[in-house]
Amino acid sequence: MADTKVSTAGDEDKMAGVKRRPSTMKEACTGPAVGGDHSHVLHLGAKTESSSDNLPEPEREHPYKQAEEVGPGYRVQDIDGCGHGRCVNKDEGSTCSPGGTGQNCKQATGGFAVKAQPSGFVAQGLRDDVYGNKTYTASTRQESSIEQDGMNVALGKTAFQTSSRPDGAASLAVDGNTDTHYHHGSCTHTKGFPGEANPSWWVDLGQSYVIDRVVIFNRQDCCSKRLNPFNIHIGDSDQVSANPKCGGNHQMNLNQPSISVSCQGMKGRYVGVRLPGPYRILTLCEVQVFSDERHFDGCNACSWGWLTRHSSWVVGSTGTPWVKNGVTYDAAKALDGDIGTYWNPQGTDENHNWYIAFDLTVPQTLTRIAVNNYGDTTHDIAAFTLQKSQVGSPYNWEDVLTVTNVQRGTYRRQEFGGFRGTARYWRFLITRTHSGYQPYLTELNLFRISSDINECTRKPCLHGHCVNKDGGYKCTCSPGWTGQNCQQDTDECTRKPCLHGHCVNKDGGYKCICLPGWTGQNCQQGENPSCKRLDIIL
């Protein structure tokens, strides 16, 4: 039976699903930096010395207030369950030292310690410890890391499902939010009880990719068993069941929020999740489809990944950086890997064009850009243009990518692709914020592949010379040939080159069959006396 499409591309659900979550705890605080990797510790449930009181107006709630809200890029450290009383904290628990009494030494805080890792970990499973405190176990595999594990090519793409509840649109599985609580507004839902036969969800990647793996985030607040068993289909048909399966019937560990299914070598434009059998209900909180860019870039040994950023890249920016308590919030703060800092340009008019110019020191071929907004809506970026210049100051800026749908009210990383450009000099031009006030840019990341692939190595110009260009090539055809690859013969006889004879077209040229008395390549030499006398008579 054909799958019925319920498209959700462009739904308001996409915007509604990205919003500030309400706080149930006092403001969490950003602790001091640890080491030289810009990591920092957030102690949830207690203020630290570096509290939000030190943040500029308007104050924002720190995004990480509850362990349930730990997002990609963070891992949970050992929890200090001691708090008060004489208690000895240990990995995976605590015991009271002499003089302390009670299971929790009377007053355990149950606080959470979360360490930010720019290279990242993923909070992988919610559980209760021996004291009833909620905590996460951490996975050492960072599913959202493109640098380590490939590119999530499903993010923000058009999604469909066979049926849909009003609050469970298909687009919610590719919105970048891995929250596994359905009522937080970021999970899909097909027809409710009693369900339907073979409910399916699928995403259109826009083009065919070689797939490395598919990561599925299951609903955790209830009903997690509904997902088992499930199938993954990958192929070029928009009818899910018509595409080949990645493996057979998959079973998910219901104690874990996500599962990674290896589909190495499969290729397709559509990736779908299908529940075989009658009376099934499909709920997906996020689906990530990872592809190794080297496969679809036409290169077998390319160097690729998110660039290691350097503050020295910045060669220009708008306005005067804001300074508070000795900290300068300049453009370099958008490159430091710390979401507790940001670029805050002062002294500009509203609805200004704010920019940061970069010198990457060598030409780089970029294909993706990632932006972290501040998350307060007022200073969140709404639209930007990425530009490049082949020369230094004075620059000659060329538009490479224009984005007009950057989401507001979220601190989460937003990635944008679909472009390719090579240059040493780049400019991130913010053309609009959601309020018109100056932007607070928390982080900016650039994804590069190896310098432009030399398409001329495969000799595409059949009858001409190949010139490699940024993102392509150009053929300079030999005389007598035309077409993109110099594959089409030119009919030279149309211009009547044979002055005294008959023209015969040939591949890559022509031949003149001269009249008696005439010679030369174009029958241009010699005279025919009879013809001359005839001319006189005429």
Are residue 376 and residue 507 in the same domain, yes or no? no
pLDDT for 527 equals 67
pLDDT for 535 equals 47
Residues of the chain with pLDDT under 50: 1-149, 294-302, 529, 532-538
Are residue 439 and residue 484 in the same domain, yes or no? no
Are residue 377 and residue 433 in the same domain, yes or no? yes
**258 domain-assigned:** yes
**Which residue from 211, 219, 214, 212 is spatially nearest to 261, judged by alpha carbons?**
214
Are residue 234 and residue 209 in the same domain, yes or no? yes
Domain count, the chain: 5
**3 domain-assigned:** no
pLDDT for 107 equals 33
Query: Can you read off the two tokens belonging to residue 449?
Result: 């592949």
pTM, entire model: 0.38
Domain that holds residue 193: 146-296
Rounded distance between C-alpha atoms, residue 263 and residue 250, angstroms: 12
**189 domain-assigned:** yes
Last residue of a domain, one of 89, 120, 139: 139
Are residue 431 and residue 458 in the same domain, yes or no? no
**Which stretches does DSSP call E strand in 236-344?**
258-274, 286-291, 305-306, 314-317, 320-324, 327-329
Query: Can you read off the two tokens belonging to residue 225?
Result: 């068993």
pLDDT for 263 equals 86
pLDDT for 484 equals 85
Longest CA–CA separation in the chain, Å: 136
Please check whether residue 511 is in contact with residue 493, taking contact to mean a CB–CB distance below 8 angstroms. Answer: no
Write 130-138 long-range contacts (CB < 8 A, 24+).
130/93, 130/103, 131/81, 131/93, 131/103, 131/104, 133/79, 133/81, 133/108, 134/67, 134/68, 135/67, 135/76, 135/79, 136/67, 136/70, 136/75, 136/76, 137/76, 138/75, 138/76
Q: In this structure, what DSSP letter does residue 244 have?
A: P
Are residue 316 and residue 286 in the same domain, yes or no? no
Are residue 310 and residue 169 in the same domain, yes or no? no
Last residue of a domain, one of 114, 139, 164: 139
**4 domain-assigned:** no
Please check whether residue 87 is in contact with residue 123, taking contact to mean a CB–CB distance below 8 angstroms. Answer: no
**401 domain-assigned:** yes
pLDDT for 339 equals 81
